[in-house]
């Protein structure tokens, strides 16, 4: 059962729909089919390296942990990379690229990763909880980096997280001038709301700020140093503006940022894309530089089957592709499957909205 558009639905509320969702998933029509079915994958970050497509997804694992708004049921502990020679062709699943047990500072929950390449080295960026404990007995999310000479790994993690990093969902964009930027952040379980003052509040809200009439929480953007392992500056807000040039408000759950930042550049414009979380849209906002501000422009993807939506957008051999995930195979929120679908642009640069539950 697809989430209901325009209705705020917490994970706890969505859990009540799971038995019906599993049955409904077997009957639904889906626009696209999973890239792989032997493992569960989500949060796909896609990159073209050497003409091939490499997808860096989360590796979902079965668990008996109940669904909650902190995302404890998402208990991923390692990464596997997917390789494609061509769209619709064979997909190779790589061996374990990185396991949390080999990350000195991390305790658990290796969520959505990303990757980059520079000067013969591949960089894997990943969030994980550190070994400290908060009021819920959980660690604080930090962002780490690991390196390899092979895009499939294995990757060796740096001994400490990136200094100044926090929250989750790292996405690294390299501009035409060679400068790279990381976009990151996610509210609820991603803890971004606990950093609202610039410092971590261990007793802060577990959901959001409940300030619907004030500017929404923004995802973060920060320029990377040339070593690709550290920040060159303090992270700043990636502000999304409405049609009147004012910051989108926290109460506008169809437009505001929740998680899953992804940046790409087309026609000299910067497309800041993201998930709205509890209204289940993928959105985009357009700006004139990597820092923004970005003007909200519309929906990329309507709600999928399942609770979360996390994506990437990449050009490959002259065509644009959207990578996303749903729960078609399992009917469970925490066991997802990655998909890819063509992305179409209008002459004015706007994106044609995709319905994942209608055939092409």
293: preceding bond cis by omega (within 30 degrees): yes
Largest CA distance in the chain: 51
User: Is the CB of residue 27 less than 8 Å from the CB of residue 21?
Assistant: no
User: Is the CB of residue 180 less than 8 Å from the CB of residue 232?
Assistant: no
CB atoms < 10 A from the CB of 210, how many? 10
**Catalytic one of 32, 43, 73, 169:** 43
CA distance 223 to 171: 12
Nearest to 275 by CA among 314, 326, 228: 326
321 phi and psi, to 5 degrees?
Answer: -135, 140
CB atoms < 10 A from the CB of 209, how many? 15
Does the annotation mark 43 as catalytic? yes
**Catalytic one of 73, 259, 278, 326:** 259
Extract the runs of DSSP E, i.e. beta strands, from 50-204: 52-60, 78-84, 91-99, 106-108, 114-118, 121-130, 141-148, 156-157, 171-174, 180-184
Classify the C-alpha dihedral 276-282-287-289 as positive or negative. Answer: positive
Residues in the chain: 360
Does the annotation mark 83 as catalytic? no
Reading the block at residue 130, the tokens are: 């550190």
Residues that are catalytic: 43, 259
């Amino acid at each position: 059962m697809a989430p209901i558009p325009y209705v705020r639905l917490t994970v706890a509320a969505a859990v009540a729909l799971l038995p019906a969702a599993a049955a409904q998933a077997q009957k639904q029509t889906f626009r696209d089919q999973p890239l792989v079915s032997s493992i569960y994958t989500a949060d796909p970050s896609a990159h073209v390296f050497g003409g091939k497509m490499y997808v860096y997804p989360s590796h979902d694992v079965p668990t008996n942990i109940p669904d909650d708004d902190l995302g404890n049921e998402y208990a991923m502990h390692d990464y596997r990379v997917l390789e494609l020679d061509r769209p619709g062709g064979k997909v190779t699943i790589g061996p374990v690229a990185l396991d949390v047990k080999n990350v000195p500072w991390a305790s658990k929950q290796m969520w959505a990763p990303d990757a980059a390449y520079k000067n013969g080295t591949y960089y894997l960026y990943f969030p994980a909880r550190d070994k400290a404990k908060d009021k819920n007995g959980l660690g604080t999310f930090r962002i780490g980096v690991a390196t390899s000479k092979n895009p499939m790994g294995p990757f060796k993690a740096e001994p400490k997280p990136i200094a100044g990093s926090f929250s989750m969902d790292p996405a690294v964009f390299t501009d035409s001038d060679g400068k790279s930027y990381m976009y990151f952040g996610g509210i609820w379980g991603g803890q971004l709301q606990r950093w609202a003052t610039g410092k971590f509040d261990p007793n802060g809200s577990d959901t959001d700020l409940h300030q619907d009439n004030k500017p929404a929480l923004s995802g973060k953007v920060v320029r990377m140093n040339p070593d690709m392992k550290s920040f060159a500056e303090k992270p700043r807000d990636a502000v999304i503006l409405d049609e009147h040039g004012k910051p989108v408000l926290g109460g506008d759950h169809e437009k505001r940022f929740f998680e899953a930042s992804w940046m790409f550049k087309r026609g000299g414009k910067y497309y800041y894309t993201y998930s709205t979380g509890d209204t289940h849209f993928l959105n985009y906002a357009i700006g004139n530089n990597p820092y923004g501000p970005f003007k909200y422009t519309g929906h990329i993807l309507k709600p999928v089957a399942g609770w979360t939506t996390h994506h990437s957008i990449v050009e490959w051999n002259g065509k644009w592709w959207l990578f996303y995930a749903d729960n078609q195979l399992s009917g469970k929120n925490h066991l997802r499957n990655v998909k890819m679908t063509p992305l179409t642009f209008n002459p004015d640069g706007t994106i044609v909205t995709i319905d994942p539950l209608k055939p092409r």
